[in-house]
Amino acid sequence: MEAEEFKRDYLPLWEGLYRVALHILEDREEATDVLQDLYLKLWRTRDNLDGVNNPRAYCLRVLRNLCLDRVRHLEALPTGSLEDIPPSAIQGESPPSDSLIEGRELRERILREVDSLPPLQARAIRLRTIEQMDYPEIASLTGQSEGALRYLVSEGRKRLRKSLMRLEESLPHQKPKNSKTTKSI
């Protein structure tokens, strides 16, 4: 999508989208931040926007997801004073936990495996799993039928499970196991 098309199709939606974000978040600054995130995300994925039949509906769906993510994040933040936070947390005395490091490594491994899939399958899995789009949205972006996309995602997940199980078995420091790793894909 060219910049002129983007300006014509997506920028005029700003005011209505802002009102929706403000209604959900009930905070002007948060609504503005989420809208900036939305337009940044749209701009970064503008090459995929040519297949979107209804830009307003698409933006509302993405905006809703971003707002819900923001609400969850705000609810997870601690409420209370700085005195309630232990000094070690502020001073950063504890190194990152092994589980955090393992989680990052696992995420990187999974993303490498996704990249090794055929391009359309990798794109479908990324849009469905990472971008959390529903099948009709993905179908409008890719031009594929919903049934074909469901099949691509299902088969791709099977391939990813097998690859990750082989990786897990090949690691010398760990015993092969049926962990959440391969079941959550």
pLDDT tens digit at each of 185 positions of the chain: 788 988 999 899 999 999 988 888 888 888 899 999 999 999 998 888 888 889 999 999 999 889 888 887 766 555 544 444 455 444 444 455 555 566 667 677 777 888 888 888 888 888 887 777 888 888 888 888 989 989 998 898 888 888 877 777 766 554 444 555 545 55
Q: Rounded distance, CA 96 to CA 107, Å? A: 16
Residue 101, pLDDT score: 61
Residue 96, pLDDT score: 53
Are 182 and 165 in contact, with CB atoms under 8 Å apart? Answer: yes
Amino acid at 101: I
Residue spans in the chain of domains classed CATH 1.10.10.10 = 99-180
Rg (CA), the chain: 20
Q: Rounded distance, CA 8 to CA 62, Å? A: 19
Residue 17, pLDDT score: 92
Q: Give, in words, the CATH class of 99-180.
A: mainly alpha
* CATH, domain range 1-78: 1.10.1740.10
Residue 36, pLDDT score: 93
Q: What is the DSSP string of 8-60?
A: HHTGGGHHHHHHHHHHHH--HHHHHHHHHHHHHHHHHTGGGGGG-S-HHHHHH
Looking from the CA of 11 toward its CB, the CA atoms found within 13 Å total 6
Residue spans in the chain of domains classed CATH 1.10.1740.10 = 1-78
Residue 81, pLDDT score: 43
